[in-house]
């Protein structure tokens, strides 16, 4: 049971971070379908630091590793999200098409980079895998029998920050205004372009964090050609189910995280093993649940009115 709780919290942390990123972006008026690709690129940045930054088992080295990995994941995620922002905000490209393209590009780009790096280090190594066996220990702390991942704490902090940012600051009010009625926002002197750029870059920050959190769950190596198993799209479902509100998103993330965790730990429950259900079914559960939930809740959900619509000063 403890292992189920542990995996649920870690997977929920991933979904929460990425869904909050999508939420902030959509509140600014830009649909960020590129979260999957941003997660992969953010994970790449963090994994490269884990591979090349020397790590010793001391508290100072542990903290340095954590900060550097977190910083690299954020930096890579933000940089990659600029492609979405420039295409959708400045060039007014179709946000769905751009997001889909960036998802495919993200996995392909990460695979090429890692394969090239591995080949340069060892000519016989053509894999897309990065190993970070020792460095991963920098993110883990044992609290009794519970293994605490530091990214769980980061996710909780980001939840509070996102709520305060969106609902307790002038910045959040202006951001949400740009997602509801950008022409009205512009009429009172708010720069819609700047607000939307800020929203997309913040989603890149959170998406990059979600990516590095995901690849460090339970494993000490990652093959980048595998991407992130659809967690970017699953996070969008969490965001919609959570009605674009941070705390509701947190509840949805816990629910979806629970179903995802069952795929990892169902062997530990005798009553689940007795059902003789193939393991693939448990791995499919969060995606099946997302389809069912969205089928029943999508009509009642209220997205920001101007999301997905390129800003045009001449429109009323």
| pLDDT beyond 70 at 271 | no
Of residues 11, 222, 45, 252, the one with CA closest to residue 129: 222
pLDDT digits (tens, 9 = 90+) for 120-132: 999 988 899 998 8
| pLDDT beyond 90 at 137 | no
pLDDT digits (tens, 9 = 90+) for 254-265: 999 988 888 777
Q: What is the mean pLDDT of residues 167-172?
A: 96
Give the chain's domain count.
1
The span from the first CA to the last CA of the chain, in angstroms, equals 56
pLDDT on residue 260: 86
**Domain presence at residue 290:** no
**Domain presence at residue 199:** yes
Of residues 90, 28, 42, 97, the one with CA closest to residue 232: 42
pLDDT on residue 273: 65
Q: What is the span of the domain harbouring residue 141?
A: 8-229
| pLDDT beyond 70 at 266 | no
**Domain presence at residue 160:** yes
- Percentages helix, strand, coil for the chain (3-state, rounded to 5) are 70, 5, 25
**Domain presence at residue 249:** no
| pLDDT beyond 90 at 295 | no
Contact call for residues 22 and 32 (beta carbons, < 8 A): yes
Q: What is the mean pLDDT of residues 225-231?
A: 90
Burial of 280 (0-12, 13-18, 19+ CB in 10 A): exposed
pLDDT on residue 198: 97
| pLDDT beyond 70 at 204 | yes
| pLDDT beyond 80 at 298 | no
pLDDT on residue 274: 66
**Domain presence at residue 88:** yes
**Domain presence at residue 157:** yes
| pLDDT beyond 80 at 64 | yes
C-alpha count within 13 angstroms, C-beta hemisphere, residue 139: 28
User: Comparing 274 with 100, which gets the higher pLDDT?
Assistant: 100
**Domain presence at residue 237:** no
pLDDT on residue 268: 59
**Domain presence at residue 85:** yes
pLDDT on residue 90: 93
pTM of the entire predicted model: 0.93
């Amino acid at each position: 049971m403890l292992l189920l709780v542990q995996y649920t919290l870690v997977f929920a942390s991933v979904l929460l971070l990425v869904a909050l990123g999508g939420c902030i972006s959509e509140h600014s008026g830009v649909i960020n379908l590129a979260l999957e690709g941003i997660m992969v690129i953010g994970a790449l940045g963090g994994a490269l630091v884990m591979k090349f930054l020397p790590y010793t088992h001391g508290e100072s080295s542990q903290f340095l590793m954590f900060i550097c990995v977190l910083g690299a994941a954020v930096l890579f995620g933000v940089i990659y999200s600029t492609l979405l922002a420039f295409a959708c905000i400045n060039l007014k490209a179709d946000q769905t098409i751009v997001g889909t393209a960036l998802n495919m590009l993200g996995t392909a780009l990460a695979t090429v980079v890692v394969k090239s790096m591995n080949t340069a280090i060892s000519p016989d190594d053509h894999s897309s895998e990065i190993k970070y066996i020792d460095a991963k220990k920098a993110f883990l702390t044992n609290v009794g029998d519970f293994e605490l991942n530091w990214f769980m704490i980061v996710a909780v902090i980001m939840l509070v920050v996102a709520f305060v940012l969106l609902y307790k600051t002038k910045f959040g009010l202006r951001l949400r205004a740009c997602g509801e009625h950008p022409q009205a926002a512009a009429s009172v002197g708010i720069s819609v372009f700047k607000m939307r750029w800020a929203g997309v870059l913040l989603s890149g920050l959170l998406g990059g964090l979600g990516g590095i959190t995901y690849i460090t769950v339970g494993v000490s190596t990652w093959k980048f050609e595998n991407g992130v198993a659809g967690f970017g799209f699953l996070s969008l479902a969490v965001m919609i189910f959570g009605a674009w509100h941070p705390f509701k998103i947190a509840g949805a993330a816990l629910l979806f995280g629970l179903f995802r965790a069952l795929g990892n730990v169902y062997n530990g429950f005798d009553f689940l093993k007795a059902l003789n259900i193939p393991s693939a079914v448990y791995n499919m559960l969060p995606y099946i649940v997302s389809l069912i939930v969205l089928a029943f809740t999508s009509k009642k959900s209220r997205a920001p009115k101007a999301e997905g619509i390129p800003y045009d000063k001449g429109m009323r």
